Amino acid sequence: MKKVVTYGTFDLLHYGHINLLRRAKEYGDYLIVALSTDEFNAVKNKKSFFSFEERKLILESIKYVDCIIEEKCWEQKAEDIVKNKIEVLVMGNDWEGKFDLLKDYCDVIYLPRTPEISTSKIKEDLRMCR
C-alpha cells in the first residue's frame, strides 16, 4: 500500500482544500492528514475559527482522508514519514521548496493551489461583511 501525507490547518474547509485532498490521494492508496493542533497554530501566530477537534471531525468525513494525525511542531515531519512508512509528501505550491529536505525520506510533490479561494480570503471577506 502506497501511503501519502499532507500537512495543514484545514480551517474553514472549502473546495480548495477538497481539491488538494483529492489530488493528494491520487498519488497513493492511503492518505494521512497531519492536522495542526491549536497549540501549534498559536506558535505559527494562526488562530483557527474551528478547534482542532472540530476540524478533525470535518476531515474525518471526507472520503479521500484515511487517517488523521496531530501536527504538533515543524520538526516532526521526518519522524512522521519514517514512522508511518510514507512514500509521498504532498503540499500546496505556496510551500514550494520548503520541504525539499524531506526528499531523503520520500517523494515531495508541490501541487498548484486552487487560485480563487483560500481560508485567508474567506476570513477577509467575512470581516468586510461586518
- Catalytic annotation, residues: 44, 46
Per-residue cell: 53? 477537534
* Cα–Cα dist 33/13, whole Å: 14
Residues 14, 117: contact at Cβ < 8 Å? yes
Chain centroid offset of residue 24 CA: 10
